[in-house]
Amino acid sequence: MAEKQDITMDKIVSLCKRRGFVFPGSEIYGGLANSWDFGPYGTELKNNIKQYWWKTFVHGRDDMIGLDSAIIMNPKVWEASGHLENFQDPMVECKNCHERFRADIVDLSASCEKCGERRGFTDFKQFNLLFRTHIGPTEETSSIAYLRPETAQGIFINFDNIVNTTRKKLPFGVAQIGKAFRNEITPGNFIFRIREFEQMEIEYFFNPKKENWEEKFEMWLESFKKWMNDIGVDSKKLYFHDIEKEELAHYSKKTIDVEFDFPFGKKELFGLAYRGDFDLKNHKISYTDPETQEKFIPHVIEPSLGVDRMMLAVLVSAYTEEKTEDDIRTVLKIDKKLAPIKVAVFPLMKNKPELVEKAKDIFDKLKIDFMCEFDDNGNVGKRYRRQDEIGTPYCVTVDFESLEDGAVTVRDRDTMKQERIKISELQNYFKNNLQ
Ligand code: GAP
């Protein structure tokens, strides 16, 4: 069996393109650097990750509720949150080709990564990562707005609305999934660092006099360790990096960066931060305890995940190459609940109407409960290979015997074992095995 070290980004990117997970953005117009479109299977995978997150942390807990706030907000939000002033990276420019780099990442004593020349770099300038846009028909300063760089602020500014309408009492949390935008100086590494990405964020509010923040922090860290284990993120590739005081973001009192060993190195997968009362205080929002009538500013713990990065970690964890008798089999051993397609249904031969009809009939029944795909292209071996690369846990083949005995062959993705199952029992079989 090929070792996991053999996984390269080239292999992941190539599988994603070949099998319809991720396509280069604007491809027919020559592309747009570092932009990506999610194909049919990538969209299913991403949705399954988001849905499982929502199911676990919103529906699965009685101290959590959900929100879907606007991407474009009043610019005063970003003034209060500190993003207009502080959300910046140091940038330098190559004196030869004028390519821009992040000064804190690039080796300033080395040759330029882009042109290879050694003419040096300019002094660094601070570059604000907010994406600017204009509201209304004129491009006047008064109409400047920003695409949100994090979903979190939508939660803070709705705190009063949420308390008043849901009657939630502290401690409680608000979850949100949505797009965020950052004008990154150096995007790259496929979908790891992009300018348009999705976040899944939780703001967990509590009374700092009643609750111990360290305990809440630990509770969220443990919850996310379990959640990542549940979706098959390789725990051997995870690292928990306690960020030093001097390196903390402008709003944070403590942050743990959860890092993942990607093929391009150990990098941040997501962050867990204790934001104190920074945001609510800046938005001039407080809370009145309904029992004691005490007025105070709640503190907040924030687990903040990038959906695209999580999807990449899931793909890297699942990507497997196995030596078979005469070949190398590439298979995505993705957790079944995340698999884009749960069951693929094949007629053994495409030109035998009685097989096709039976297979279509099975497909039509199964698709009501499971995400299914019907495939009659090429030979069965090729269909298996394709479904293995998509990560489909089960393939069902209708053959001539099926017409006699009312049974089909069910093949397991991971073991490649095949068993005969009665058509009448298929529904139950998949219900039991796809939990
Ligand atoms: N609200 C806190 C916040 O936004 P962050 O560490 O800047 O914190 C949180 O971002 C997560 O969002 C990151 O850990 C990462 O998973 C994801 N993320 C941030 N910038 C990204 C980018 N340019 N491309 C893809 N994902 C990104």
Q: What percent of the chain has pLDDT over 90?
A: 88
CA distance 376 to 345: 8
Closest-CA residue, ligand 1 atom 27, reads 306
Tell me if 233 sits within 8 A of 249, measured CB to CB: no
What is the mean pLDDT of the segment spanning 22-36?
A: 96
- The pTM of this model reads 0.94
Report the separation in Å between the CA atom of 269 and the middle of ligand 1, taken as the mean of its atom positions: 8
Shortest-distance atom of ligand 1 to CA 150: 4
CA distance 401 to 384: 20
Q: Model confidence at 50, in pLDDT bands (50, 70, 90)? A: very high
Tell me if 22 sits within 8 A of 191, measured CB to CB: yes
CA distance 93 to 409: 61
CA distance 391 to 342: 8
Report the separation in Å between the CA atom of 169 and the middle of ligand 1, taken as the mean of its atom positions: 29
**Residue 149 CA: distances (Å) to CA of 38, 131, 261:** 21, 8, 25
pLDDT given at position 128: 92
pLDDT given at position 136: 84
CA–chain centroid gap for 11, Å, is 19
pLDDT given at position 54: 98
Closest-CA residue, ligand 1 atom 14, reads 270
pLDDT given at position 142: 65
What is the mean pLDDT of the segment spanning 8-37?
A: 97
pLDDT given at position 46: 98
Mutate which of 86, 196, 199 to test ligand 1's pocket (most atoms within 8 Å of Cβ)? 199
Closest-CA residue, ligand 1 atom 15, reads 306
Report the separation in Å between the CA atom of 250 and the middle of ligand 1, taken as the mean of its atom positions: 15
Mutate which of 300, 309, 314 to test ligand 1's pocket (most atoms within 8 Å of Cβ)? 309
The set of protein residues with a Cβ atom below 6 angstroms from ligand 1 is 150, 152, 182, 184, 193-194, 197, 199, 201, 268, 270-271, 302, 304-306, 308-309
Q: Model confidence at 105, in pLDDT bands (50, 70, 90)? A: confident
Write the pLDDT tens digit of every residue in 263-305: 999 999 999 999 999 999 999 999 999 999 999 999 999 999 9
Question: What is the overall mean pLDDT for the chain?
Answer: 95
pLDDT given at position 295: 98
What is the mean pLDDT of the segment spanning 399-404?
A: 97
Give yes or no for residue 2 having a pLDDT over 60: no
Least confident of 140-154, 170-184, 308-322: 140-154
Mutate which of 268, 269, 307 to test ligand 1's pocket (most atoms within 8 Å of Cβ)? 268
Report the separation in Å between the CA atom of 184 and the middle of ligand 1, taken as the mean of its atom positions: 11
What is the mean pLDDT of the segment spanning 56-84?
A: 97
Report the separation in Å between the CA atom of 270 and the middle of ligand 1, taken as the mean of its atom positions: 7
**The two three-digit tokens of residue 132, written as one number:** 């600017």
Higher pLDDT, residue 23 or 125: 23
CA distance 200 to 180: 10
Q: Up-side HSE of residue 250: CA atoms within 13 Å toward CB? A: 12
Shortest-distance atom of ligand 1 to CA 194: 24
Give yes or no for residue 367 having a pLDDT over 90: yes
Least confident of 141-145, 328-332, 348-352: 141-145
Report the separation in Å between the CA atom of 309 and the middle of ligand 1, taken as the mean of its atom positions: 9
* DSSP notation for 256-297: EEEEEEETTEEEEEEEEEEEETHHHHHTT--EE-TTT--EEP
Shortest-distance atom of ligand 1 to CA 149: 4
Give yes or no for residue 237 having a pLDDT over 90: yes
What is the mean pLDDT of the segment spanning 113-141?
A: 87
Give yes or no for residue 3 having a pLDDT over 60: no
Q: In terms of C-beta density within 10 A (0-12 exposed, 13-18 middle, 19 or more buried), how is residue 158 classed? A: middle
Write the pLDDT tens digit of every residue in 179-232: 999 999 999 999 999 999 999 999 999 999 999 999 999 999 999 999 999 999
